[in-house]
Amino acid sequence: MSSTLPAGPGQKPAPGAVFDLGVSRLFGHGDLGDEGMVSGWAVPEDNHNWNDGIEASFVLAVKAGGGALELVVEGVPLTGETCPSQNITLYANGFRVGFWCLNEGGPQRLTARIEPEQVFWRGKLGYIKCVWVMPNSVRLSEIRDSTDTRQLAFCFRSILLRDVP
């Protein structure tokens, strides 16, 4: 189910993914595909999406009552000997809502609180443009014997929006 982010005069609306609170959505072909992906994403793969660049933008719309929300993203950072850590900053509609320094490989859970005033409400839908900034993104072709020229930092697996308890 697609939606659009309301635009100002003369601007084209951005695509968005509609979320029900408490329902986890999966990145990749199985669910989201490229729905909500505005810029900075590699081609969707089975059950995940990688960023491609130092910023990845994602627009979502949530069916909610207007309270504070918690955004939970699960995935795996690209870390190793030549890339010891990944710093990730999350902005929601321009507000800095999270920062993580990930220096361990393996599954990670990134959780951020989004206040009601940080959501752009139109009728019964709240719109959020999420921008993940990942300055430590690296090209595999520069650190390994690889022809992969994508600039990677984090393998996004799932995303969930829920009411703050």
Q: What are 55-103's pLDDT values in tens digits? A: 999 999 998 677 899 999 999 999 988 889 999 999 999 999 999 999 9
124-151 b/e with 16+ CB inside 10 Å = b?
ebbbbbbbbbbebbbebeeeeeeeeebb
Residue 3 lies in a domain: no
Contact between residue 61 and residue 137 where contact means Cβ atoms under 8 Å apart: no
Residue 4 lies in a domain: no
pLDDT digits (tens, 9 = 90+) for 32-61: 999 999 999 999 999 999 999 999 999 999
Domain membership of residue 127 (yes or no) is yes
Number of compact structural domains in the chain: 1
CA distance 60 to 71: 11
Among residues 14, 32, 33, 36, the alpha carbon closest in space to that of 23 is found at 32
Beta strands in 13-165 (DSSP E): 14-20, 25-26, 37-39, 49-50, 55-63, 69-77, 86-92, 95-102, 108-114, 120-122, 125-133, 138-139, 151-152, 154-163
Question: What CATH number does residue 151 fall under?
Answer: 2.60.120.260
Whether this prediction's pTM lies above 0.95 is answered by: no
Residue 144 falls within a domain, yes or no? yes
Structural domain boundaries, residue 47: 21-163
102 belongs to a structural domain = yes
